[in-house]
Chain A
Amino acid sequence: MMSFSEIETVSKRASKATGYSWGISEEIGKSVRVLEMFNLPGISTLNQYLKKIKNKHPKKLKNISKINKSDEELCPIYTGVSILDNCNRLENINIIKFFNINYPLLIIPFLSRSSEITNKTIHATLDEVKFTLNSNKTIFTNIEKSNVFKNTKELTIEFSENKNLFTDIEWKELYKLSENTFVPESDSLKNSAAGAGLTDND
């Protein structure tokens, strides 16, 4: 079995050899490591993508807007880096769509890191496959683990405010139950427990 350190190093070097800059290759190394750590096919996907672009290096995505369409297939790495670099601006757009992205799994680690930076949960939908990314700590998905996507027609990402999933009533009920761990203060406890006997009127 390869260690994650080897996975990161080899991914970085292979990406540099395919024409990415060192700085971008460093990002790719970290991303593939994240995918493999979450048991997603990072190495397989990168390998196939780098083979695909071997003879023609992809163009960069210069600017991200609400809807992102291009005549050419979008590069998941440049798109991912662009989202990462602009995530503080993009979180205000809320829902962003990209069309025709190559090997879109490679974009997921960049979204995961964006979620950490913005402190917002990010929901990503790649055609039928859904991802929920929480602060680069967890990735929930219904993807088949060995599935290497070659292309997605549509990627939707949504920055969502971190909010509670429960109702006020549910919270109050649970809180009430938690109160049963407290000791009711008798008169004697009031006189002897912490702070008793002190007057802090000033």
Chain B
Amino acid sequence: MPNITLRHPEDVMKLSRLGSFHQSKLSFLRSFIREFKNWEFNRDIFDLDKYGYGVAVYSVRKNKRVYSLICFSQLINAEERSDRVIATKWDAAFVLHDGVPTKKDIERLKENVPKQEIGRMSNKELALSRANRSVRIFDYVVNSLSSGKQPDTNLLNKVGYLYRTTAVYGSGKFGLADRFRIKDREEICGPFRLEMMLVYLVRQFTFDQINHISKMKNPDEFISLDKKIARNLGIGNSTGLGMAPFIVNHPTLLHQWIYNRETALKEIRLIENVKEKEIKHFKFCLEKSKKNIVSWFTDSKYQNKKIKSLKNDLVKFKEYFSNLDFVNKKYLWNEVYLWIDKYLDEECSEYLISMMMEPYDKIIEPLVKNMSSDEDKYFNIPSSRKLLDLKKIIEAKYNSILNINFKDKKSNTFFWFISKNKEEPRIAKRFDEPGSDLEQPLAIARDIKKLYEKISDQNLSKTVADFLVDHDELRHVVRRIFISEKFQYSEIQDNTISETLIPIDMLRLKLSFFGAQKFDPRSDKWLRICMYQGAPLVNELKNSDDNWIYNSIN
């Protein structure tokens, strides 16, 4: 049997690799659909005027559990519409409510939800979002449908959605319910499941709304949006730097995500006899998925280079794989993986790893249930341990970080801060712009190295508690080091303030676990994505299969 282990964190946790991750069976969109496919979806209220403004309520129900999406759609002027997170008005605002909302709840939420960050929710609300109509296609689709024509799919495919969100909030933000209140519910055990539910229901609202507006515009000639076309539309999302600190601030959660992905890869490589139907399934998904690559449009040079590399490598892979002799081959996937790792770039390697998971529900499903983390459990610092322990852990877990020269300005180029205007994370150049005195504790590599240098001068038999009395400025990284001792994939093995940092790599890592596709960087600090493109419509859920992600008709 070949010696197959988990990939080493120093290989996996580099930003260039993490920024090459793609959606997989572990992704939250897909696990949401699998979990909720047998729930009952209803449109309970649809009180919109002829322009589509008003209130709508959708519910998701099973036994006694009900979740309701309340949608508020309003008129905004063109100049008020902005897809930046700094906007203050949106075409539509949404909240996911726990249970069936009363009239009083809806009135209360009507006053607050459209205000988003400056409104207040209650602990009966679970997630909050807003979205704008696509300027490129929304009116065009209305005009088409109201004149009895289906819209041109070529144009729709370039956009991929009718609405684009700019934020989806959960877990206690703006008065929403804290995660601990609901975390034990079996159906929402996975991370971000409620946010995924919200986005899925918003997608249905966008279809219902556009049909409604089109019908009101010209009831005689109107036709409904073709289901095939609707299925191929998702919900857009503009995502900025707000997501990047999340993966630094939640080390045990990050570990769970990566560890499960790596465990899946290891278990697949360990399959001794790969069945023919599994190879067939892999080939089927790979072939279908190529449509998503061909229809992956971006103006970003950075992303286009990656897409080009992906396309080229997929050609190489196809040739390799079609010449592979499967008969009596033991540990086929291991051999394939070793070839991929040797000959292909990270973008394609990670793509194919996601594909290799496709035939293996039995491996993936137990891992999906293990994607969350009880973070508070690991918050205490084991301060009675010795500095020698701390030093050894740093040397073992942060070896490559210790080689970074932080005396070099290039290693200290950026600092992370929270903007006063929007209370959102931002990044700026340390030596050019003010504010670095209010730097957020996200320069983990720099602080780990600082700690290492500090303890190297100390008596290593000293306890961590004694050391911290005089060095509490390093307490936040001491905590992390003990976490990384238990959780090997909890740290990004890179410098998050380096001149070479590409922040969207951090966003893409998180978004790939969400299940987003078609990453479209608009700069090195924000990007657009599409969620649920190809997903079954609510009335198709029961009979849907998990390959929907590759059902794009592009």
Contacts and interface: CB of A to CB of B under 8 A. Distances in A.
A4 B475 contact: no
A23 B447 CA distance: 12
Contacts of A63: 469
A24 B172 contact: no
A1 B478 contact: no
Interface string A86-110: 1011000000000000000000000
Nearest to B465: A85
B173 interface: yes
A2 interface: yes
Interface in A1-35: 1-6, 13, 20-24, 26-27, 30
A62 interface: yes
A117 interface: yes
B381 A85 contact: yes
Contacts of A1: 122-123, 175
B478 A60 contact: no
Contacts of B381: 85
Interface in B433-479: 441, 464-465, 468-469, 472-479
Given A85-B465, A113-B380, A3 B475 contact: no
Given A4-B178, A113-B380, A23 B475 contact: yes
B421 interface: no
Contact of A3 (B176, B384, B418, B468): B176
B379 interface: yes
A5 B173 contact: yes
B353 interface: no
Given A26-B479, A82-B469, A3 B178 contact: yes
B174 to A, nearest CB: 8
Contact of A24 (B383, B475, B477): B475
Interface residues of A, number: 27
Nearest to A78: B472
Contacts of B29: none
B473 A21 contact: yes
Given A22-B441, A24-B475, A88-B384, A6 B465 contact: no
B383 A23 contact: no
Contact of B479 (A23, A62, A89, A117): A23
Interface string B465-498: 1001100111111110000000000000000000
Contacts of B441: 22
A24 B468 CA distance: 10
A26 to B, nearest CB: 6
Contacts of B123: 1, 3
B384 A89 contact: yes
Interface of B: 122-123, 171-180, 376, 379-381, 383-384, 418, 441, 464-465, 468-469, 472-479
Given A13-B418, A81-B472, 15 more contacts: A1-B175, A3-B173, A3-B176, A4-B178, A6-B174, A22-B441, A22-B473, A22-B476, A23-B472, A23-B473, A23-B479, A62-B469, A85-B383, A89-B384, A117-B380
List 4 A-B pairs, minimum CB-CB distance, nearest first.
A23-B475, A5-B172, A3-B172, A85-B465
12 contacts: A1-B175, A3-B177, A6-B173, A21-B473, A22-B441, A22-B475, A23-B476, A23-B477, A23-B478, A63-B469, A85-B468, A88-B384
